[in-house]
């Protein structure tokens, strides 16, 4: 494959809300650049980007995929990202690897919430953007409304550089604002077009668009602004150079129109990306961490090698790591350093990646994206660098999962394979989490939504043959007491030979939340020999673990052993352990036992119009609203809510907000369960009585 210099590489990310047509646009880019020989389609399952079985079945992008195309002697690396909220982190993370965002907006459907979020992410990255208003040939296509929404909700600096000729079934081309030419496209998907005169009914719109573009370009430069105010216009050369500077400095975001699925208006977008999008070496320095300190690394071909892993994919019986070179270069068989795992890795064969196809390359230069097979200790998000100049690339902070399921193998024969399979999935997708339930010892698989989890287990079954069962996890209720109480625990058993005898007096008192347990010995005069003290404490702890009200662990209790008696022959550790259990239960009955539940802090971000509904919903979930704030038509609601009421909150929030809401949650504290709910919990969870005291 041809080697490109860093100045001739362009890295773009196709971003936008689910269903806006990102993948169809990506397929048209590949077809026009002759990377593919036919116009791929998601619907016909011929997409280069969406090649995973689950993507084809659901008709949606699940995993960011990479392909490249040559256009005007430039190599354009294309990242096709997911638009579904379940996979939003993957999109926002992979945007770190791009230098320009192509923000795709559906002309019939308008702006989606994920479009707003990726725009915010591009702001964080100070990333140049271009807007592509897609699906212009579909029913209900409304380019004026789509552009208005973009300008009002994203940025007033979005300026159209084209004027659409027709819409819906009548859409057939665009007027290029800079050249003043009409481009009439074939409707057969070939991407071919002819130049023509501007339709008479669009000449006034062209004059207005030229003026708006010139004003915006002039505003990005003091020199051009002075010239524009004096002369009232800019020369074509001034407009072109000023346009490039304005785009690269994020002072202007050009808007294009077209149809990705029918390859209309795609080649002008390609021209723009090749000619005006920034090269990798034109981007600001890379922010890295050297220990606890932030350092800046130049994106220079002459600098020490620095890269980070965009994706880890299952490939050829192992893994393939796709990485973006930020500085320097590397080649096959070189040794690089992974500071995240403090290991050295030997590079295998480097490959250019086009969907699921690969082609060997000899070197990876600054700015390029390539794959390498079977790195042993490297996963998504890791840094690769020169060991003599170590640093960790600062990427997007990991988001907390918002939904969890208990997971176990459907058949015993799959139990051994389950752990290995899950580890492979976790290496690919860092938003998946696997933890162990403290009480039940079940494994919990957590993710960004129900669909995220469902697809993860479907892929695991397809790849590794492991079939699993998902269940809603048990809420980790706890039990405690509200007042001090005392009781005797006496265990005596005579069976003809040596008997069993233990006798204790215990006092239970409440502890501060989070203190768990404290044991105090107040025995005086040898009423209970010291060798039995550990047995008493052990008996108490084992009983606390089994619970009293509904079988949940008892916490935040101080237990004092203050009296008792023993038998010289019949007393034993087992007898005192049993006596302690009996005494603890008897004292619990008098100590006002209560059930307590985990309360979580939530931050819920929703469109302003949904704020009242969400606040009402929080109240219905026994939540307590702590505050609210509205900014840029989005409301942030802070609340404390019982975990039992929000375990499956994400699908309901999506339903209430049309997928435009998001939330984070973090454990806060435990508090008493209302009396009217306790009986339901007891009925659901209380285990059968054990006949341990007979």
DSSP 204-225: HHHHHHHHHHHHHHHHT-HHHH
The answer on pLDDT for 667 being more than 50 is: yes
* Whole-number Å distance between alpha carbons of 183 and 163: 10
Supply angle C-alpha 339, 341, 346, rounded to 5: 80
Instruction: Look at residue 685 and tell me if it is in a domain.
Output: no
Instruction: Give me the mean pLDDT over the 313-318 stretch.
Output: 77
What is the CA 452 to chain-centroid distance, rounded? 10
Q: Are residues 650 and 556 in the same domain?
A: no
**At 330, which CATH number?**
2.40.30.10
Check whether residue 496 and residue 467 sit in a common domain: no
Residues 418, 365 share a domain: no
Q: What is the pLDDT of residues 459-505, one digit of tens each?
A: 999 988 999 999 988 899 999 999 999 999 999 987 767 789 999 99
Position of tokens 């539940």? 597
Return the bridge partners of 660, or none.
Answer: none
Q: How far apart are CA 350 and CA 539, in angstroms?
A: 62
Based on the fold, state whether residues 265 and 362 are members of the same structural domain: no
Across residues 611-617, what is the average pLDDT? 95
Residue 247 CB neighbours (<10 A): 22
pLDDT for res 415: 83
pLDDT band at 1 (very low <50, low <70, confident <90, very high): low
Structurally, how many domains does the chain consist of?
5
Q: Which of 327, 361, 393 is where one domain is finished? A: 393
Dihedral (C-alpha) 618, 622, 628, 630: value to the nearest 10 degrees?
A: 0
The dihedrals phi and psi of 235, each to the nearest 5 degrees, come to -70, 160
Kindly report which listed range (62-66, 67-71, 675-679) carries the lowest average pLDDT score.
675-679
Q: What is the pLDDT of residue 547?
A: 93
State residue 329's pLDDT score. Answer: 96
pLDDT of residue 686 exceeding 80: no
Spatial CB neighbours of 688, under 8 Å, sequence gap ≥ 6: none
Please, which pLDDT band fits residue 553 given cuts at 50, 70 and 90?
Answer: very high
Q: Is residue 692 part of a domain?
A: no
* Count of CA atoms in the C-beta half-sphere (13 A) of 267: 18
Q: Which two tokens stand for residue 566?
A: 């023993």
- How confident is residue 691, by pLDDT bands cut at 50, 70 and 90? very low
690 occurs within a structural domain: no
Q: What is the pLDDT of residue 661?
A: 84
Domain CATH code at residue 529: 3.30.230.10
- Angle subtended at Cα 83 by Cα 77 and Cα 84, rounded to the nearest 5 degrees: 145
> Distance between CA atoms of 409 and 447, rounded to whole angstroms?
18
On whether both 304 and 445 belong to a single domain, the answer is: no
In this prediction, residues 424-439 reach a mean pLDDT of: 86
Give the model's pLDDT for residue 236.
83
> Is pLDDT at 79 greater than 50 in this prediction?
yes
Model pLDDT for residues 37-59, shown as the tens digit of each residue: 999 988 888 999 999 999 999 99
Using one digit for the tens of pLDDT, what is the confidence trace for 235-266?
888 888 899 999 999 999 999 999 999 999 99
664 in any annotated domain: yes
Interhelix angle 573-590/533-546, nearest 10 degrees: 50
In this prediction, residue 372 has a pLDDT band, given cuts at 50, 70 and 90, of very high
Q: Are 494 and 603 contained in the same domain? A: no
Residues 522, 494 contacting (CB under 8 angstroms): no
**CATH number of 443's domain:** 3.30.70.870
DSSP assignment letter at 437? -
DSSP symbol at 168: G
Is there a domain that residue 146 lies in?
Answer: yes
* Reduced 3-state DSSP string for 635-693: EEEEEEEEHHHCCCHHHHHHHHHCCCCEEEEEEEEEEECCHHHHHHHHHHHCCCCCCCC
Q: Are residues 239 and 377 in the same domain?
A: no
- Do 490 and 451 sit in the same domain of this protein? no
Domain residues for the domain of 640 are: 596-680
For residue 173, is it within any domain?
Answer: yes
Residue 416 and residue 482 share a domain: no
For residues 229 and 129, state if they share a domain: yes
Report which of residues 693 and 35 the model is more confident about. 35
Q: Which tens digit of pLDDT belongs to each residue from 92-113?
A: 999 999 999 999 999 999 988 8
pLDDT at res. 185: 96
230: confidence class by pLDDT, cuts 50, 70, 90: confident
In this predicted structure, the answer to whether residue 78 has a pLDDT above a threshold of 50 is yes
| pLDDT, averaged across the chain | 92
CB atoms within 10 A of CB 107: 28
Pair 327, 416 in one domain? no
Last residue within a domain, chosen from 532, 556, 591 = 591
Cross-strand partners of 564: 504
Task: Name every residue whose Cβ is closer than 8 Å to that of residue 518 and which is 6 or more positions away in sequence.
Answer: 511, 557, 558, 559
Structure confidence at residue 688 (pLDDT): 53
Most trustworthy range by pLDDT among 591-595, 602-606, 688-692: 591-595
The string of DSSP codes covering 177-199 is TTT--EEEEPSSSS--EEEEPPP
What lies within 8 Å, CB to CB, of 304 at 6+ separation is 327, 328, 385, 386, 388, 389
Residue where a domain stops, chosen among 393, 416, 451: 393
CATH number at residue 216: 3.40.50.300
Which pair of tokens denotes residue 681? 């919990």
Same domain for 605 and 567, yes or no, is: no
* 532: in domain: yes
For residue 693, what pLDDT is reported?
44
Q: Is residue 686 part of a domain?
A: no
């Amino acid at each position: 494959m041809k080697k490109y210099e860093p100045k001739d590489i362009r890295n773009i990310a196709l971003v936008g809300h689910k269903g806006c047509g990102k993948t169809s646009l990506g397929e048209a880019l590949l077809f026009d650049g002759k990377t593919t020989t036919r116009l791929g389609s998601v619907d016909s399952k011929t997409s280069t980007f969406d090649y995973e079985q689950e993507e084809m079945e659901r008709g949606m992008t699940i995993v960011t995929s990479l392909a490249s195309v040559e256009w005007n002697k430039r190599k354009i690396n294309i990242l096709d990202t997911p638009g579904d909220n379940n996979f939003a982190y993957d999109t926002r993370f992979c945007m770190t690897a791009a230098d320009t965002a192509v923000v795709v907006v559906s002309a019939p459907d308008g702006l989606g919430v994920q479009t707003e979020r990726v725009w915010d992410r591009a702001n964080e990255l100070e990333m140049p953007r271009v807007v592509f208003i897609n699906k212009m040939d579909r029913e209900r296509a409304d380019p004026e409304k789509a552009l208005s929404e973009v300008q009002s909700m994203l940025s007033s600096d979005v300026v159209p550089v084209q004027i659409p000729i027709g819409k819906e079934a009548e859409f057939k081309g665009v007027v290029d604002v800079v050249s003043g030419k009409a481009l009439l496209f074939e409707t057969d998907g070939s991407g071919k077009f002819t130049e023509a005169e501007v339709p008479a009914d669009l000449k006034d719109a062209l004059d207005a668009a030229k003026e708006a573009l010139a004003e915006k370009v002039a505003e990005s430069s003091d020199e051009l602004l002075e010239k524009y105010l004096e002369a009232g216009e800019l020369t074509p050369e001034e407009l072109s150079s000023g346009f490039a500077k304005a785009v690269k400095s994020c002072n202007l975001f050009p808007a294009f129109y077209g149809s990705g699925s029918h390859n209309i208006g795609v080649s002008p977008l390609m021209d723009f990306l090749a000619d005006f999008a920034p090269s990798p070496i034109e981007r600001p320095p890379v922010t890295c961490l050297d220990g606890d300190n932030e350092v800046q690394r130049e994106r220079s071909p002459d600098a020490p090698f620095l890269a980070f892993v965009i994706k880890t994919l299952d490939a050829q019986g192992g893994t393939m790591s796709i990485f973006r070179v930020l500085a320097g270069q590397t080649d096959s068989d070189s040794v690089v350093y992974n500071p995240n795992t403090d290991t050295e890795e030997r590079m295998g064969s480097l490959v250019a990646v086009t969907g699921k196809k690969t082609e060997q390359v000899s070197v990876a230069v600054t700015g390029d994206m390539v794959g390498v097979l079977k790195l042993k200790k490297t996963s998504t998000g890791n840094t690769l660098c020169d060991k003599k100049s170590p640093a960790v690339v600062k990427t997007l902070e990991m988001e907390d999962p918002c939904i969890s399921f208990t997971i176990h193998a459907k058949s015993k024969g799959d139990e051994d394979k389950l752990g290995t399979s899950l580890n492979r999935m976790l290496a690919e997708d860092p938003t998946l989490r696997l933890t162990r339930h403290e009480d039940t010892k079940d494994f919990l698989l957590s993710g960004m939504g129900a669909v995220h989890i469902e697809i993860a287990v479907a892929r695991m079954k397809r790849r590794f043959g492991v079939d699993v069962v998902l269940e809603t996890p048990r809420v980790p209720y706890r039990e405690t007491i509200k007042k001090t109480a005392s009781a005797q625990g006496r265990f005596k058993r005579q069976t003809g030979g040596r008997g069993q005898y233990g006798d204790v007096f215990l006092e239970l008192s409440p502890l501060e939340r989070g203190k768990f347990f404290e044991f105090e010995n107040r025995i005086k005069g040898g009423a209970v020999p010291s060798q039995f003290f550990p047995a008493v404490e052990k008996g108490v702890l084992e009983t606390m673990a089994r619970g009293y009200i509904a079988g949940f662990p008892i916490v935040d209790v101080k237990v004092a052993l203050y009296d008792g008696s023993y038998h010289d022959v019949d007393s034993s550790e087992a007898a005192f352990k049993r006596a302690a259990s009996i005494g603890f239960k008897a004292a619990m009955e008098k100590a006002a036992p209560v059930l307590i539940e985990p309360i979580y802090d939530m931050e819920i971000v929703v469109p302003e119009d949904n704020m009242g509904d969400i606040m009402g919903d929080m109240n219905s979930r026994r939540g307590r609203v702590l505050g609210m704030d509205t900014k840029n038509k989005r409301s942030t609601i802070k609340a404390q809510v019982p975990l039992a009421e929000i375990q499956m909150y994400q699908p309901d929030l999506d339903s209430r907000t049309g997928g435009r809401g998001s939330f984070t949650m973090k454990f806060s504290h435990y508090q008493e369960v209302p009396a009217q709910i306790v009986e339901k919990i007891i009925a659901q969870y209380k285990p059968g009585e054990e006949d341990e005291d007979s």
